[in-house]
Structure 1
Amino acid sequence: MPGSIRIGIGGWTFEPWRGVFYPDGLAQKRELEFASRRLTAIEINGTYYSTFKPDSWSKWRDETPDDFVFTVKASRFSTNRRVLAEAGESVAKFLGQGMTLLGAKLGPINWQFMPTKQFDAADFGAFLALLPNERDGVRLRHAVEVRHASFDCDAFRALCAEHGVAIVHAEGAEYPTIAPAPVGFTYARLMGSRDEAAGFSDAELDAYAERAKAWSAAGDVFAFFISGTKVRNPAAAEALIGRLGGR
C-alpha cells in the first residue's frame, strides 16, 4: 500500500502572502488555521533559530485539522559545528522543547547543514547515532539536508540507511541533489518557483505529481515548496495537492 503524500510550504507567517494566499482582512493569528485547511503539511522554520515554549506547540496542534502534519527544521546550534559528535546536549535541548506535544501531527525533523560542511564518515555517523527514534512516547523520524558535494557518495547513503535517516531531496537551489537512501519515507524541498501564477508551469507540476506518486510507493512523502519566488509557493502547493486528489 502506498504511503501518504503531504504537500506544503515553509512556515506560515510571510507578509507578502497576505492578500495573495491569505484573504484580505484575515487576522494574523488565524493564518495557521487558514493555511492548514488548504495545505496538508507545513515545515516549521523558526526552530532553526530559536526554541519555542510548550504552549506554542500545543496551540499549533489545536489550531490544525486532525490529518495535518508539521515537519520541523532542527536547530542550527546542533548542526553548525565543527565536531558533530559533540552535539548531544544541543540535540537533547532541541528535542525537549515541547514538539512531542504535537503527537501524531509531528512529522520528520530536518537537520540542515551548512554548504561548507564536508562529509566525514566517522563524525557524521556519530551525529546520526545521537538522533533518537522516540521521545515521550512519540515516534521521531529524521532527515538530513546536506549541501556539499562530498556527501554524494555511497558511504554517506549507507550511513543514512543504517540509521534509518532520510536524505533530503533538495531541488532547484545551487546545491547538489543527492540520491536518497531507502528508509521508508521521502523528504523533498522544492526551491525553484518562479514569478508565475502557480510558481511552475503545468507540465512541471504534472511531473512533480508523478514523482510524488512514485516516491509514495516506498513510504510517506513530505514535499515542501521553499524559497524561490516565495510569494508563489502556497499556490504551487495547492496546485500540486489538486493534482493528487485535493485537500
Structure 2
Amino acid sequence: MTGEVRIGTSGWVYPTWRGAFYPKGLVQRRELEHISGLMTSVELNGSFYSLQRPSSYQAWARQTPEDFVFAVKGGRFITHLKQLRDVETPLANFFASGVLALEAKLGPFLWQLPPKLRYDPGRLAAFFDLLPRTTSAAAKLAERHDERLPDERAWTTTDTDRPLRHALEVRHPTFLVPEFHDLLRAHDIALVVSHTAGKFPYLEDVTADFAYVRLHGNQALYVGSYSDSELDEWAAKIKTWAVDHDVYVYFDNDTDAVAPHDAVRLATRLPVPPTRPHTIAPTQ
C-alpha cells in the first residue's frame, strides 16, 4: 500500500453520543478534541447547512492534532437549492466562509447531490469547471463573494498553495451509466462509494487519485452497526484501493452512537496512522 488511509465519522456533534461514546461529563466544546485523539479525520458537515465562520474553522483546527484532516461538505444551497446551476457566486461565498483557514488540515470537499437530481453531463461538467483545484485558486474565487458574506466575515487568503480534491455523491439511478464514470475521470473528481443499505443506487469505482467512502448504515440510512464480516469486506476493498490511492472513509450511521465505534473497529483492520492518546479529564 502506498496510499494514505483515513477513517472517521460524518460529523461529531450528536447528543446521543454523549455517554455512549463520549465520556460522561465531557463538555461539548471538547468533543472534537476527544474524537480527534481516536481517529485521523472527520467529515465537517455543518458547512452543508449554512456558511460557517472563519473563527469556527480556526477553532476546529486548533482543537485537533497536527496530522488531523477535515473533509468539508459543500453547501446544500449549491447542490440542493441551486442544483449546480448559476453557482459561481454561491461557490465564492462558500470558499470565502473560512474553509481556507483550516490550512494544512483541509482535506477533500464532498458534494452530495439530492436524490431527485438526474444525470446531466453538461450541468456536471460546467460545475466541475468552476471548482478550484488549488488553495490559491480557491482564494481568488473567494474574493468574488457578494454581500451575503460581508467583508469582515470573509476569508480570502491562503497560507500556501496546496492542491484541492473534490468528491461527488449521487443518489439517482440515472447515474448508473459508464459515461458518468468517464466524466468524473476526465475532470479528476472522485466518485463517492456510498453504502445506503439499498436506499439509493450503489456505485463503486475509483475515478481520481483518491477514493472516498461513506457508510450510512447496514440496516437503513443512519441505522445499524456494521458486523465484523462486513467490516472485513470493507477493509479488503480499502486495501485494494490504497495500493496506489489515498482513501477517506466516513461512517454516517450516527444513530445509537455506532458510527464512532465502527470507525475505530475498521481502523484496527487497516494500516492507518496510529491514534494519538487523549488526556481529557471529564468536566462536571
TM-score (norm 1): 0.93
In the alignment, structure 1 residue 143 sits paired with structure 2 residue 139 = no
Which of residues 181, 205, 208 is equivalent to 1:183? 208
Counterparts of 1:70-85 in structure 2 under 5 Å?
70-81=70-81, 84-85=84-85
**Higher-Rg member (1/2):** 2
Gaps of 5+ in 2: 136-157, 276-284
Give the 3 Å change call, closer, same or farther, for CA 41–230 of structure 1 in structure 2.
farther
Question: 5+ residue gaps in structure 1?
Answer: none
What percent of counterpart residues are identical? 40
**Separation (CA, whole Å) in 2 of partners of 1:82 and 1:65:** 36
Q: Which residue of 1 aligns with 2:141?
A: none
What TM-score does the superposition give when structure 2 sets the normalisation length?
0.81
| 1:161 counterpart letter in structure 2 | R
- 1:4 aligns with 4
Paired position in structure 1 for 2:53: 53
SS at match of 2:268: helix
Show CA shifts across 1:157-212 (max 9, x none): 111111111010001341111232431100100112469xx922211112221111
What one-letter code is carried by the residue in structure 2 that aligns with 1:54?
P
Equivalent-residue separation in structure 2 for 1:31 and 1:193 (angstroms): 26
Instruction: Note if contact 2:191-2:207 (Cα within 8 Å) is conserved in structure 1.
Output: no
Contact 2:83 2:117 in 1 (8 A): no
Equivalent residue, structure 2, for 1:37: 37
Partner of 1:126: 126
Local SS of the residue matching 1:3: coil
CA distance in 2, matches of 1:242, 1:74: 30
From 257, 261, 274, the counterpart of 1:235: 261
Aligned counterpart, 2:196:
172
Secondary structure at 1:86 match in 2: coil
Instruction: Write the mapping of 1:59-74 to structure 2, written as runs, cut at 5 A.
Output: 59-74=59-74
Distance 2:245 2:194 in 1: 18
User: Measured at CA, do residues 193 and 65 of structure 1 come closer, stay the same or move farther in structure 2, by a change above 3 Å?
Assistant: farther
Q: CA deviation at 1:86?
A: 1.2
Partner of 2:249 in structure 1? Answer: 223
Of the structure 1 ranges 224-233 and 57-66, higher mean CA displacement relative to structure 2 is found in: 224-233
Question: 2:16, 2:255 within 8 Å by CA — same for their partners in 1?
Answer: no
Between Structure 1 and Structure 2, how many residues are aligned? 245
What aligned pairs does 1:80-95 form with structure 2 within 5 A after superposition?
Answer: 80-81=80-81, 84-95=84-95
Shift of 1:82: 5.7
Matched-pair contact (CA < 8 Å) for 1:193–1:232: no
2:57–2:102 Cα contact (<8 Å) kept: yes
**Which deviates more, 22-31 or 94-103?**
94-103
Cα distance in 2 between the residues matched to 1:19 and 1:192: 21
